[in-house]
Amino acid sequence: MVMGMKQYELVCGLETHVELSTKTKIFCSCTTEFGGEPNTHCCPVCIGLPGTLPKLNRTVVDYAIMAGLATHCEISHISKMDRKNYVYPDLPKAYQISQYDMPLCKNGYIELSNGRKIRITRIHIEEDAGKLVHQRGNVFVDYNRGGVPLIEIVSEPDIRSIDEAKEYLEQLQMIMRYIDVSDCKMQEGSLRCDVNISVRPKGTETLGTRTEIKNMNSFTHMTKAMDYEINRQIDLLESGEEVIQETRRYNEEDDCTESMRGKEDANDYRYFREPDLVTINVSEEEIARLKARVPELPREKMQRYISELGLPEADALQLSKYRRIAEFFEEACDGVKNPKVVANCIIGQMFSRMDTDAAKESFEVAITPKQLKELVLLLDAGKIRSNLMKSTLEKMLDTGKSADAFLTESDLAGLDDNALREACAKAVADNPAAVADFQNGKEKALKAILGAVMKATRGRADAVKAEQILIQLIQK
């Protein structure tokens, strides 16, 4: 980033809020289900009526520890809950139950594709706030979301570019989905982040004054907001003005950030221990139990697909991104000669039926991994050719039926050399124009004749052998 004669460097850290996919809220038995009529998923406990007592949901602690283990964090054996005091209508009791000085997880990291590690300071658990709805000058409050369990993942200011910020958040999203603690749907607020940004002259170590952009819930908005805020801060510094420490919001209509309020520090929240909840004690046995539940993560899985299965990096990345796809792939390619064939079936024909990332994440296909494996094993055994495999797979995906519903005995018998030569001779006789084009130097014309052979033999012909026979016949 160059402005004037100076080069500037971004210094950025993210505070990422992840809603946990427990069935009930963090301190009561109300449902965490998204949506519903306003104020129908709440009770006296989660709206903080006097005389009510919270009770910590054990699954929330388990999920937070799993998130910590998946991001290389140390797990605290002793932690506690604290009250974070602020007067704002989205929390009716005027404080949020969170964690301050004794978080559940600390000192982790996320490794980026460029090899840089973005350090994670802490992961702590807390309750979500309600939602403010602004309509025609009025403000309404929906407390359905209040009390939904969150983990907050706080990074060190190690991010040095917008691309690094995006990759860091994408990796967090992928990991949390993989370990099945959150669906991380940004459009539903299950994953959102606050972006802390400052700039400084390149080569200096002193941190600049930071601003915080609140509640980014899409990658597109985050990158646009960061780009605007970086340039805004550089403009201020180049003009001899100061950057003010404040909280800002992204205005998507004007594509800019705008001031909300002065930035609070920890002492503004007057933290003190939550008196109604006991200390959280996590034993080594519990950590070991939860570690066993953490699956192989996408980065490690991708490297294994490359090194052990011989997949290209691009294929390995696509297959490892979503857990359901990875599990389907691994089951389908167990015992086949070439895992790349299975990869091609998934990335090619199956993905072509899926328009969105959400469809890939759920990966609802009509056939089982076993059915795909049975089809690929027929190719391995030389009983069918790749064209017939592809056309059969399309029928299987349409109906959910196995390959044997579409393949006859003659399909599986293959073609002997005499039958193949007859099919090639007929294709040459039936396509004089393509033959003439090939004889005149148009090599692509041969593909049209070969296509006629494959169609006539229902994909049973060996394409390489058929092409050789066609050239011999045409050049006679």
**pLDDT computed for residue 466 by the predictor:** 81
- As a whole number, mean pLDDT of residues 155-174 equals 96
Residue carrying structure tokens 């799993």? 66
Residue carrying structure tokens 């997880």? 105
Tell me how far apart the alpha carbons of residues 159 and 98 are, in angstroms, rounded to a whole number.
26
- As a whole number, mean pLDDT of residues 389-407 equals 92
Per residue in 266-310, pLDDT (tens digit) is: 677 899 999 999 999 999 999 999 999 999 999 999 999 999 999
- Coil/strand/helix, residue 42: coil
Specify the amino acid at residue 411. Answer: D
Asked if 97 contacts 108 with a C-beta cutoff of 8 angstroms, the reply is no
Q: Evaluate if residue 462 carries a pLDDT over 80.
A: no
Of the two residues 415 and 82, the one the predictor is more confident about is 82
DSSP 343-401: HHIIIIIIGGG--SHHHHHH---SS-HHHHHHHHHHHHTTSS-HHHHHHHHHHHHHH--
Any idea what the Cα angle at residue 49 is, between residues 48 and 53, rounded to 5°? 70
Query: Which pLDDT band holds residue 416 (cuts at 50, 70, 90)?
Result: low
Query: Which pLDDT band holds residue 1 (cuts at 50, 70, 90)?
Result: low
**pLDDT computed for residue 89 by the predictor:** 84
Tell me how far apart the alpha carbons of residues 221 and 177 are, in angstroms, rounded to a whole number.
21
Per residue in 46-76, pLDDT (tens digit) is: 988 999 999 999 999 999 999 999 999 999 9
Mean pLDDT score across all residues of the chain:
90
Q: Evaluate if residue 5 carries a pLDDT over 80.
A: no
Nearest to 316, CA basis, from 347, 293, 290, 359? 347
Of the two residues 454 and 85, the one the predictor is more confident about is 85
Domains, in order of start, for the chain = 2-290 (no CATH), 296-413 (no CATH), 417-474 (1.10.10.410)
